[in-house]
Structures are given as C-alpha cells and as structure tokens.
Chains A and B, each alone.
Chain A
C-alpha cells in the first residue's frame, strides 16, 4: 500500500514535470551547430561575409528575400525612386508598430542613425553608401535617401540600411552593443560565449507574427571541424548542422530520421585572366576561349564536388538577369588546341596559375588543381602557385604588387537571389573611378554598359542590361570564365521542422521548431 502511494506520488511528479516542460518549452529548445563563427554582432561594423550568420537573427533591413528568392518589402511598407535635378531620391515609408527587443518603437530616426554609422569609415562598409549624400527624416515613419547619382547596387543590398535602435546604441556604446545586441529580428539575444555558443530566445513581440519562430530557444554551437560537427549531429548532441561535407552527402540522404536540403551559395566562382597587358598571351581572346573549352567543368563538379555545384555560363539560374539561352562553353580539347594554334601558340604557352585555397567553399583547392591539369593537356602549361585566402585577397587586387600575371582561380559573392552588378563593377569594369578594384580587363564598350547598369534603378531595365552585359562578356571571354555556383547543404533531425531562409546565407533560422 505504501509502495503504491510512492508510485502515485512519483507518477504525479513526473506528469507535473512533463507538463511544466511543455509549457516552458513552448515550441522547444533546439541546438544547432555552425561551422564558422562571426566576429561581429553589430550590423554597422561587419567585416566578413560570415558576420551575417548572427546578424540575420537579430537585425532586419528595409527589404528582404523570401525562401523562393523573391525580393519583398520588409521593414519598408513602400519605397520609390525619383529624380530631382541631379539628385536621385529614394523615398521610404516604414512599417508602424515595429518593436525593438527592448520595447522601443522603430522610427525613421533609427535609419538615419544607421546611415551615420554605416557611412563612417570605421564601419568597413562605407563604400557601399558612397553615392548616398544623406538620409533626411520627414517624420517618424518617412525618410528620403538622397543620392548624388543612381546606384542600382543599393537595391540588391536591400537598401543597405539596418534597423538599429538609436537610443540604445547611444546609451550603451559599441562595447554595450557587442555585449548585448538589440534589433527588430525574430530572435532576442540571451548569452554568448565566443568560440563556443550563442543562445537566443524567440522575440514574442515580433512584428511579423506569421513568421515568428516556433522554437522558444535556440542554442548555436560553433564547431569548425567537419568531422566533429557531423559527429555531434550523429550523437544527437545537436539537432541541425550546416555545411554538410559533400563527400558525406549520400550517407546523410540515406540515413533514416535525417532531412537534408541543398541551396545555392551566394558565391560565384570563376577563372580570372590577366588581359590588360597586351604582351601577355591571355590578352588574346582566342587564348581565353581556348582555356574556356579546355576544362571539363561538368566532370569536375561531379567528381570533385560530389555534384555540389551549379554550372554557370555567366550567371546561375534564379539570378537577376539570368539568360537561359546562354550556354556554358562546351568541353572541347581539340577546339582549344585549334584556338591556341590560331592565336599563334601552336606549341602551347607557359603561364603562372594562382590557386586559391580556402575553407570558405568546399574543395576549392582541388577544383583549381583539376582545372590547371586540364589546361596542361591542351598545351597551357601551368606553374601552380598555391595561395591561402589572406595572401590571395591581397594579390588579386589589380594594383597589388607583384602582379598576378596569369590565370587566377577566383570567387565573388553575388548575393541571393543574385545580382552581378556589384561584382561586374569590381572585376569587369576597367580599374579606376572607384570601380574595377579586382579587374584584369579593359573594354570601353563593356565599361559603358556596366556604368549604365550600375546607374539604372528601374528593375526591368536593369534585368535587360544584365542580359546584354552577360552576352558580350560571354562572347569576348571578358572579366573571366564563370565556372560554378557552390551548393550549401544543411541536415537536421526529423524531430524538428525547418525551412531554410536565404538571409545569412540560408541560416536565418526563421521557420524552425520541434515537430508536433
């Protein structure tokens, strides 16, 4: 009898515990693992692409991108571009009633403050706002961005400004923001141990109740080593991982209880060739075309990248201005040899080949080595120079010394869904006037087209111009040979529901929760 009483008591306690866990969980606590860690949690001080991983949890912009890669108004209710004399004006109306995590209401003054911080050289992103002269607040919900000239790249940057709480920033200063970031995003900061984890909690007063995360709490572990991250997932220590190693993709797909999704990365990879030195064989379009035909990129994607790449002619499908009729240069080593001979290099050429090695994209080093091996078969003999990312990014700038006087494996982010305007301004337009910092090419006609593209804020016209530039670029093998757009793969346990959102490189963690 006494034993029965104990069992009843224990059972009641267990039920209370389960009930309280469910109530407390309210969507549950999910642990995920990222392979890389941002150094910044302040969107006005970002220094690397990976910084977006955390910023996307806390902060938002005027425009946003849906999982279907459609650009939509986000914190902006409406916006329009007008020309007033020499000035271009972007007039913005923002949503009313949007709250920061500390309860302050979002106003136009916060965007003006964001502009002041982002245009400060210390922000490391001031160049993106170089044509914005000022942000003029009209009232709490309306402001104008005043541009000295039209700048199409602002649109692909979601009008660039971040919603940051002015009063909070001014009260706590830079250190305070780093210690406790506050934005309007779906997740609130709880705690952070650098190199270990970030803990966030659902923001229940989030303005977009339809997109409020289901999970109550999210712990993001930082596990850079692939094998360890995979082991943490297999042992159940984490429910979700990013950057599944391509070599293990098939294993993941065939594991019961595991869901896998691959999405295009924002990076576009290509081969750059120095074409501004007329004495260099690479200045000859026939030689560049020979290189384009000499490499079997499809085979490389299949066998080195395990299929985790989208072959591109100029742009990946889904990118703004994608031209489906433009096909990649076919693999044709005989044609490559003929083109070399027609260019006057029947015996082939010797050329330095600079290979980028970085963990930022899987197997990029091996990809470069395979490309250079293919070139050797048709008589383009590479002297391979391996460069880690820090050395590469220094040397790849056109004004850097020593000059990379050969073939360079290269990458440039186009964003999601992808807009090449900014990248082409940087690596196709002739160097000068603040553009062409990484350009090994000079073509006055392309320069004019890119300038026109850069200063066109009509979205339809912009698409037409992108198509036109892509066609000329393809025909003249100008500004490099595009190779592929990598795919990023995520895996998660089927006990959770997750839908990848494109912000923060598909790590925005908007739709995530325990499966009911």
Chain B
C-alpha cells in the first residue's frame, strides 16, 4: 500500500511539472505582460527597463530554470499586479474557495444520492421521471445562468437571501446551489444507472429471497456497491470545483482562488498563474489519490498492492 502511495505521488509530481512547463510556454506565447503593466504613453526604454526588472529579458530556458529552482523552494515570485508573493496571494483566498467547493459538494451529494437511489428503486415511476427531468435540466443549464436566476428570483424578487459576498451561512447558500447544480445532474444519472445494475444482480435477488426488507437492501447493500463510481465522480467534481469555480465566484463576488487566477491570466500576471497551476495540480493529484484509496474501504475486493 505504501509503495502504491509513493508511486502515485511520484507520478503526480511528474504531472505537476509537466503542467507547469506547458503553462510556462503557453503564457509566454500569449503576449508580453509589460504592455499591460505600463501606461500607454510609456516609451520603448520603459518597456526595456520593465522587462529587465521582471527578468523577462532573459532566454526562455534560463527563465524556466530560475523559476523552477525557486518554485521547488516554495517561492513562486511576486505578482506583477499585486506586488505580493504569488502563492500567498492564492493561499489567502483558498479558504473561501474550499468553503464554497465543500458547500457545493454537500449540496450535490445531498440531492443526488436520494434522487439517484429512488429513481432506480422506483424505475419508471414519477420519482424516476422527476429525477430524470431534474438531471436533464441540471446538465442543460450552465452554472452562471443558474446563479443569475437564483439572484434575480431568490435575492431580488423574494429577498430571502443575500445576492453576493461572503460572510454568513446565508451568503453561502446561493453560490453553493449554483456550483453544485451541474454535479447533481451528473451524479444522479451515474448513481441511477449503477443502482439499476446492482439491483438486478444475483446477490440482491438472494437477499430478497431470504426476506431482507427492501429498504435495507437498497440503502445498505445496493448503495454501498453502487457508490464506487459515485465516489470517483465526487473526487473529480471536488477537484474541479476547487480549480474551476471561477464563474460562480465572479457571479457572486466570492473572493476565491479561481477568480484570482483567471484575472491573472487576462493580465498576463505570470507568477500568479504559475502558482495557481501548481496549487490546482496538487489539489487534483491529492484528491484523486484519496479517491483511489477510498475504494478499498467501500469495496474490500479492491486492494492496492
């Protein structure tokens, strides 16, 4: 098991370096940050001086080498825009993103599990049809649109919850629903299909034959086995929510990592983008590793030797 974890971490480290290298190249191909940092009346001399100050006058390979040697020591440089260490800029915003992602995930699981299980258990019935409709709507409506609808209806018309910002539990509800909306649909469909397979398997028939109550069969025996693909999805969606909640963060003025990184992309703020890629890659690798390891606890037949 330990060897498996080491191997996965090693693979993860290679993936992170690879992602970083690609981003490093892509950013530099996308344009020079100096033009964005200087006023329009800046002279060519101002441009040259700024490039020297930022180290952008050096050959690409030297830039990457310097960046990499600093990065392994945890130094990702200072943001061009904010004049602060890039990684600390993101880590300051990480709690907000974690809070939103966890809330979105909890919302998605709380809704998707009962919907997926019940629609499989009552296949063809009204619950199943409702769940299917819900899943279709969830996948058809992008998160930002759901967010805007929630703001207009819940915040403006009904005035039940605040329209924006972070602070209380009330502030968290609308962005969490908007963020969890799409995963609800995907998880419901996956769980339903997985449950349908399990409910028709031999061991479930055997349990029914020996008179175990249907409620127990569904919620204890079938759900546990059907949950393996769901756990994979939860891991992937959680990692996506951490790195990709940008749109929801903008819509609800949520001060998170995603919004900061995407704004840095547009501003060619290389250090922040690079730190963001490392942060997102580490989160992705760690979450996927945890998901893989959790399979063994859900299904004892799966072991990582």
**Interface residues in chain A, defined as those with a beta carbon under 8 Å from any beta carbon in chain B:** 39-40, 45, 47-48, 121-122, 124-128, 130, 153, 174, 178, 193-196, 221-225, 227-229, 231-232, 234-235, 237, 388-391, 393-395, 397, 399, 412-413, 422-423, 425-426, 434-435, 437-438
The chain B residue with its CB closest to the CB of A396 is B35
B31, A195: Cβ atoms closer than 8 Å = no
Question: What are the nearest 7 A-B pairs in CB distance?
Answer: A195-B255, A231-B163, A394-B31, A434-B43, A121-B49, A39-B81, A223-B253
What are 27 residue pairs bridging A and B, where the CB atoms are less than 8 Å apart in the complex?
A39-B81, A39-B83, A47-B80, A47-B81, A48-B36, A48-B81, A124-B37, A127-B45, A128-B41, A196-B166, A196-B255, A225-B250, A227-B148, A227-B152, A227-B251, A228-B164, A228-B252, A229-B164, A231-B164, A235-B159, A235-B162, A237-B162, A390-B268, A422-B41, A423-B41, A434-B44, A434-B45
A127, B162: Cβ atoms closer than 8 Å = no
A174, B255: Cβ atoms closer than 8 Å = no
A391, B31: Cβ atoms closer than 8 Å = yes
Given contacts A124-B50, A231-B163, 5 further A-B contacts (CB under 8 A): A47-B81, A128-B41, A195-B253, A231-B151, A393-B31
Q: In the assembly, what is the distance between CA of A465 and CA of B49, in Å? A: 33
Cross-interface CB contact of A224 among B81, B93, B163, B253, cutoff 8 Å? B253
The chain B residue with its CB closest to the CB of A121 is B49
B39, A394: Cβ atoms closer than 8 Å = no
Q: Answer whether residue B21 sits at the interface, using C-beta atoms and an 8 A cutoff.
A: no
B30, A391: Cβ atoms closer than 8 Å = yes
Instruction: Kindly list chain A residues whose C-beta atoms are within 8 Å of the C-beta of B162.
Output: 235, 237
The chain A residue with its CB closest to the CB of B251 is A225
Cross-interface CB contact of A121 among B50, B84, B250, cutoff 8 Å? B50
Instruction: Kindly list chain A residues whose C-beta atoms are within 8 Å of the C-beta of B114.
Output: none
Instruction: Kindly list chain B residues whose C-beta atoms are within 8 Å of the C-beta of A196.
Output: 165-166, 253, 255
Among A127, A130, A153, A413: residue with most chain B CB under 10 A: A127
Q: Answer whether residue B133 sits at the interface, using C-beta atoms and an 8 A cutoff.
A: no
Q: Answer whether residue B189 sits at the interface, using C-beta atoms and an 8 A cutoff.
A: no
B155, A393: Cβ atoms closer than 8 Å = no
Q: Answer whether residue B9 sits at the interface, using C-beta atoms and an 8 A cutoff.
A: no
Instruction: Kindly list chain A residues whose C-beta atoms are within 8 Å of the C-beta of B127.
Output: none
Q: In the assembly, what is the distance between CA of A391 and CA of B50, in Å? A: 18
**Interface residues in chain B, defined as those with a beta carbon under 8 Å from any beta carbon in chain A:** 30-32, 35-46, 49-50, 53, 79-84, 92-93, 148, 151-152, 155-156, 159, 162-166, 250-253, 255-256, 259-260, 266-268
A45, B83: Cβ atoms closer than 8 Å = yes
Instruction: Kindly list chain A residues whose C-beta atoms are within 8 Å of the C-beta of B40.
Output: 412-413, 423, 426, 437-438
The chain A residue with its CB closest to the CB of B92 is A194
Q: In the assembly, what is the distance between CA of A233 and CA of B53, in Å? A: 43
- Shortest C-beta distance, B144 to chain A (Å), equals 9
Q: In the assembly, what is the distance between CA of A488 and CA of B32, in Å? A: 30
Cross-interface CB contact of B46 among A127, A174, A425, cutoff 8 Å? A127
Q: In the assembly, what is the distance between CA of A48 and CA of B83, in Å? A: 13
Q: In the assembly, what is the distance between CA of A234 and CA of B153, in Å? A: 12
Instruction: Kindly list chain B residues whose C-beta atoms are within 8 Å of the C-beta of A388.
Output: 266
Q: Is chain B's interface secondary structure helix, strand, loop, or mixed overall?
A: loop
B35, A394: Cβ atoms closer than 8 Å = yes
B43, A437: Cβ atoms closer than 8 Å = yes
Q: In the assembly, what is the distance between CA of A229 and CA of B53, in Å? A: 38
Instruction: Kindly list chain A residues whose C-beta atoms are within 8 Å of the C-beta of B82.
Output: 39, 194
Instruction: Kindly list chain A residues whose C-beta atoms are within 8 Å of the C-beta of B92.
Output: 194
Instruction: Kindly list chain B residues whose C-beta atoms are within 8 Å of the C-beta of A390.
Output: 30-31, 36, 266-268
**Total A-B contacts with CB atoms under 8 angstroms apart:** 132
Q: In the assembly, what is the distance between CA of A126 and CA of B37, in Å? A: 12
A235, B251: Cβ atoms closer than 8 Å = no
A193, B266: Cβ atoms closer than 8 Å = no
Please judge, given known A-B contacts A195-B259, A235-B156, whether A221 and B253 are in contact too, CB under 8 Å.
yes
A437, B53: Cβ atoms closer than 8 Å = no
Please judge, given known A-B contacts A225-B251, A235-B162, whether A128 and B151 are in contact too, CB under 8 Å.
no
Please judge, given known A-B contacts A130-B43, A434-B45, whether A122 and B253 are in contact too, CB under 8 Å.
no
Q: In the assembly, what is the distance between CA of A423 and CA of B250, in Å? A: 33
Instruction: Kindly list chain B residues whose C-beta atoms are within 8 Å of the C-beta of A423.
Output: 40-41
Please judge, given known A-B contacts A193-B255, A224-B253, whether A399 and B156 are in contact too, CB under 8 Å.
no
Instruction: Kindly list chain A residues whose C-beta atoms are within 8 Å of the C-beta of B46.
Output: 121, 126-127
- Shortest C-beta distance, A44 to chain B (Å), equals 12
Instruction: Kindly list chain B residues whose C-beta atoms are within 8 Å of the C-beta of A412.
Output: 40
Instruction: Kindly list chain B residues whose C-beta atoms are within 8 Å of the C-beta of A221.
Output: 164-165, 253
Instruction: Kindly list chain B residues whose C-beta atoms are within 8 Å of the C-beta of A422.
Output: 41
- Shortest C-beta distance, A120 to chain B (Å), equals 10
Cross-interface CB contact of A124 among B38, B45, B165, B251, cutoff 8 Å? B38
Among A47, A128, A399: residue with most chain B CB under 10 A: A47
A127, B151: Cβ atoms closer than 8 Å = no
Q: In the assembly, what is the distance between CA of A126 and CA of B49, in Å? A: 10
A393, B259: Cβ atoms closer than 8 Å = no
Q: In the assembly, what is the distance between CA of A487 and CA of B286, in Å? A: 49
Instruction: Kindly list chain A residues whose C-beta atoms are within 8 Å of the C-beta of B44.
Output: 399, 434, 437
B43, A224: Cβ atoms closer than 8 Å = no
- Shortest C-beta distance, B88 to chain A (Å), equals 12
A178, B41: Cβ atoms closer than 8 Å = no
Please judge, given known A-B contacts A125-B39, A227-B151, A231-B151, whether A194 and B255 are in contact too, CB under 8 Å.
yes
Instruction: Kindly list chain B residues whose C-beta atoms are within 8 Å of the C-beta of A399.
Output: 44
Instruction: Kindly list chain B residues whose C-beta atoms are within 8 Å of the C-beta of A237.
Output: 162-165
Instruction: Kindly list chain A residues whose C-beta atoms are within 8 Å of the C-beta of B84.
Output: 178
B35, A393: Cβ atoms closer than 8 Å = yes
- Shortest C-beta distance, B35 to chain A (Å), equals 5
Instruction: Kindly list chain B residues whose C-beta atoms are within 8 Å of the C-beta of A40.
Output: 83
Q: In the assembly, what is the distance between CA of A412 and CA of B39, in Å? A: 10
- Shortest C-beta distance, A491 to chain B (Å), equals 15
Instruction: Kindly list chain B residues whose C-beta atoms are within 8 Å of the C-beta of A48.
Output: 36, 81
A225, B268: Cβ atoms closer than 8 Å = no
Instruction: Kindly list chain A residues whose C-beta atoms are within 8 Å of the C-beta of B36.
Output: 48, 389-390, 393
Q: In the assembly, what is the distance between CA of A409 and CA of B220, in Å? A: 64
Q: In the assembly, what is the distance between CA of A193 and CA of B256, in Å? A: 12
The chain B residue with its CB closest to the CB of A399 is B44
- Shortest C-beta distance, B171 to chain A (Å), equals 11
Instruction: Kindly list chain A residues whose C-beta atoms are within 8 Å of the C-beta of B41.
Output: 127-128, 153, 422-423, 425-426, 437
Q: In the assembly, what is the distance between CA of A395 and CA of B36, in Å? A: 11
Please judge, given known A-B contacts A127-B46, A196-B165, A223-B164, whether A121 and B53 are in contact too, CB under 8 Å.
yes
Q: In the assembly, what is the distance between CA of A227 and CA of B44, in Å? A: 40
Instruction: Kindly list chain A residues whose C-beta atoms are within 8 Å of the C-beta of B93.
Output: 195
Instruction: Kindly list chain B residues whose C-beta atoms are within 8 Å of the C-beta of A227.
Output: 148, 151-152, 251
- Shortest C-beta distance, A356 to chain B (Å), equals 13
Among B41, B81, B159, B266: residue with most chain A CB under 10 A: B41
Q: In the assembly, what is the distance between CA of A472 and CA of B253, in Å? A: 48
Q: In the assembly, what is the distance between CA of A271 and CA of B267, in Å? A: 24
Instruction: Kindly list chain A residues whose C-beta atoms are within 8 Å of the C-beta of B266.
Output: 388-390
The chain B residue with its CB closest to the CB of A236 is B159
The chain A residue with its CB closest to the CB of B32 is A394
Q: In the assembly, what is the distance between CA of A124 and CA of B80, in Å? A: 11
Instruction: Kindly list chain B residues whose C-beta atoms are within 8 Å of the C-beta of A153.
Output: 41
- Shortest C-beta distance, A209 to chain B (Å), equals 34
- Shortest C-beta distance, A368 to chain B (Å), equals 18
Q: In the assembly, what is the distance between CA of A394 and CA of B252, in Å? A: 31
Cross-interface CB contact of B83 among A121, A174, A223, A395, cutoff 8 Å? A174
Instruction: Kindly list chain B residues whose C-beta atoms are within 8 Å of the C-beta of A174.
Output: 83
